[in-house]
Structure 1
Amino acid sequence: MVGGLIVSAGVSAQAGSSLLCSGYASCKRAGYDHFGYETKQRTSYWRMYTGTNCTNYVAYRLITTNGMPNVRPKSGVGNARDWGTAMASVTDQTPTVGSVAWWGRTGNHVAYVEKVASPTEIIVSESNWGRTFDHRRITKSGSGWPDGFIHFADPDTTPAFSATPRPTFTGGETVGSRLSATTSAWKPGASFTYQWYADGKAISGASSATYTLAAGDLGKAVRVIVTGKKSGYPTKSLASTRITDAVTAGSFASTSRPTFSGQETVGSRLVASTPAWSPTAQVSYQWYADGKPIPGATSAVHTVDADQLGAKVRVLATATRPGYTSRTLASERLTGPVAPGGFTTTPRPELTGEESVGSTLTATTAPWSPEATLAHQWYADGKPIAGATSATYTLTAADRGKKVRVIVTGTRDGFTTRSLASVRITGPVAAGRFTTAPRPELTGEESVGSTLTATTAPWSGDAALAYQWYADGKPIVGATSATYTLTAADRGKKVRVIVTGTRDGFTTRSLASVRITGPVAAGRFTTAPRPEFTGAESVGSTLTATTAPWSPSARFTYQWYADGRAVRGATRTTYTLTAADRGKKVRVIVTGTRDGFTTRSLASVRITAGVTAKSAATSATTAPTDD
């Protein structure tokens, strides 16, 4: 150190290196720069010795190239061998452009790294103590590789493009238009990628030089950004100057009218089709009758219904596509007035059932095509039967001897009505027959006064039943109800009943009861109360007998008894006691009779005590007085 200045050892490590140029002028001619040090070498930097001195040159470069101040970073940064030790915190084994190559253990020298060809090959510039300025290539093979690399303030050595024109693009600003981007060549040449944006947001998948505006871009402003890439250069992106106005709806480039096929009658099927549009469109349909839309008729196929009878029909096709202005076109074809439809399948009705009064005839008709509403009318001898309008008909007495058939009529809105008669016509309708005719059953006692009841289960054919009772095989006059009470005239006879079933148009049928009574017995009184009597028990008193009604009613006769012997002539309900009855016990017996019934006699419960003499009261009322 002289006068505070540091003197570099000035010794350069030469092994493993090759000299590229030497001297300011020759290096300049060879294309290697000295960065102005030729004129600045007499100035001291970082208080280093001037001239061809390694430390002064490197300090000059760190100030002028790397942008460091002209202030020594640390006091130890003086002699070259001390730099790496003093700056150990920023010293490593990795060379970078702008770092300082340092020899402190194997020499006493510093140099400025100009280029890093690889981790094992570098080019440095240096000013050697006592010699000259040069550029040198150093490889790591052999000796001479720096002991370290000091990174005081490595400059940004990233290369930059010198010319980067913005991209431009052409194309219409409507949905479906094709935008094409171009970019003039950059310097140095770069590879380009593109990204299209709508209202400032990247459009997914839109990363080529061309882009077709889609429905999602409608109403948005579109531009393109180009990104240039080159190895060793930072990637750079630039947006086009042009930004579209708000993208408007597209228009179809090719349109075709719809066509349709099919007959012009109710029930016919009209089928619409539309040739392809450009670009491809979603086509919907609306059918019209006499210029008015048919509700619900919005598919490519329309079946003409009754509402269109007499109308003229056509179809309109509407093409839509997202982002495009929809367009509607009518078919050139317009039908004539729609005519009534005709049934394509009309089977005749078939008849089943017996041909007799009371039988049910059934008409069966296979389905018509198209489906029809079927109505029936039955005929007898060619004349319609009033009210016979269902698929079944039960033959009545009025049909007996006539021929019956059915006619079915098919109707459907908008179709021509059609009527068809059954192939089968019945023969003359026969009388009906009762299919079920149970015999009557008898219940009741077989004695005079008893009631016999006839019960008949229902006949099939709904017959009117009439009864006739018979005694010993002969009809009993007036005995024509379902019950009969046996009379005295029936005593000893055998009784049965015959039921007769009738119905208009049916063969009348009579059936006798299986049961026949045995000989009818005499009747028996079911209720026979004993007689009662009242009156005083003394000669001259009158006794009066009463008898409650018998069931059934009977004719009563009376007989008074005294001491068990009938009193002659005492056959009335009253009896006046006589002197002959004095001391005797008196009672009365009632006898009930009825025609055909067993006679029955019953004595009174009461028997008088011995009849007493006439009482004084009685005598007083009967003897003359002296008054």
Structure 2
Amino acid sequence: MKTQAIRLGIAGALAALSLAGLAVPAQADEEMWATPNADSCGPVVDSVRFCTAPDGHPYPVQVNGGAVAGPRPGISGALQIGSTLTVVDGDWDPADATLTHQWLRNDVPVLGATGPTYLLTAADLGKGIRVKTTAAAPSYAKTTLQSTKTAPVTNAGGTVPSVVYAGYVGIYSFNTHPDRPSRLVSGGANFKGAPVIYRQYQWFCDGKPIPGATADMFDPRGCRSTGLFSVRVTGHAPGFTPATVTSKQRKVSDFDPAPGAVVTGGTGLGDVLTAADDVPWTSSPRPHTYQWLRDGVAISGATALTYTITAKDQGHTLVLESGTWYDTHIYSNAVAVPAAGELKQLTNVTKPAVTGDSVTGSVMKVSAGTWSVPSDKLTFTYNWFSSAGESVSSGPTFTPDQPQVGKTLTALVAASAPGYSTAWVQVTAPKPVTARESTRAISGTLTVGSKVTLTPDPWYDRSGITSDVHWLRDGVQIAGADGWSYILAKADAGTKLSVNVNPTTSGGNGQTLTASARVAGLPLTSAIPTIEGTVKAGNVLTVNRGTWSWGTAFTYRWLRNGVPISGATESTYKVRTADKGTKLTVRVTGSRFGYTTVSRTSAARIAS
């Protein structure tokens, strides 16, 4: 069998170029550090590529929807009235990004100054100048970066000074801990001629610019293993003409350190892989530990420097993990074991479909679709992404929550089968996620002495989510009424009851609910009043109220033919001449704190 001895990288190294297709922004000298994705990745299909981590496990990465990336802009030209300043933009990723500009005077935008050049006028005298560059490209988020503010503009004449190349440009390597050798290199160039000089970088592979490689540090794996790489450095300063210089080309192989272990051997069934762990680990005299991994998952019992390939390994990636005593694990070169026989192409016939309401708390599902191989022979994996490209879950179902509100979900369905290459397809939900409406409600009888309860919402009030609950009487919080239930007090009689819910953990929902009716008081015992006395002009009539609840307060209203008599509001009434031949009645109204107010009207008597 053919022997493989591919020497790949150490996990965790800082790099300036993302090999996953994601641009890494670069800034001026003081802002050059960036975090890479240096894992090896496959081709982009349907806006997704699958990458392999250093431990061998595969994972999906969305490559669209990222931000346009480029260096911080600079300014060249004399800082003198009548001179023209020019923006130094450098190279951006993607290369076809559209750049627009806005010039600023003392950080205030200059009206109409939106081109790559700017003519200094008398209004600029004594003020600092800055320029903002905004980059836009289809399927990318916009990026805006701004230059450093210049020194104040003067009215002195003379030639424009220049940044001058000072005689050295090169590529440096780093010395790191011997247990963790680094592939990173750094570009540098000496310039002079200005008090403070900023630098922009562009790395090249075989003479061609590498998209996104615009930081001062670079991982040579961004160029092919047998390639030549170089760096172009531009020195610029506000008020000076910039200078650009390019380093000599260097071999990628000169900067490829040995991994923790080098694995060699055939990749056929029954072949033995052998690892040579010859890196000088000087930090501890303890022996190293080893663990073979299949697609990033430990293989039971495989803890030696040799490993025999089994049928389970076919179509998967093997890596040897070497353990140190302190804080890290180092991985060998990855060995891809071919599947048994020639891999066939697996194709999607009917696209999967995303179903569900796209509402928080409601389950969304993605079907597997149909493929060129029967489903009972296929293995499926599912990954969910937000519209920003963020991975949010895995599996065929997903329940969106508050962070997904306003975002449209996509699902990535990958299918695999023995003897077939893995294939995947991405589908999008029909609409963005919206927040579900709360089903909380006030239940119980709205009568003094009764208990009312706030019925929880099964989603917003689920286990793990807590909320503060406060009951209110006519909009004013009731002291001590801060539970999910409340017993109505006499003070609530006749008032409007409401309850406020304030979430104290994420995922909750703030809400105020109001009862459908006012609170009824306790029942008041009452009686039909009677009129005592002779109903004749000049005589005094008296109300006999009958028996009412103790403590009841009364009011009275005498009526003539059902119409209230002006001023007749006492418990007695003197019959008037105008009452002759009419029907007299009296209405008694009883009220008591915490009770329902009751009115009773007597039988009519005819005045003579």
Report which of the two structures shows the higher radius of gyration computed on alpha carbons. 1
* Structure showing the higher strand proportion among its residues: 2
- Shorter-chain TM-score bucket reads under 0.3
- Per the normalisation by structure 2, the TM-score is 0.26
User: TM-score, normalization: structure 1?
Assistant: 0.25
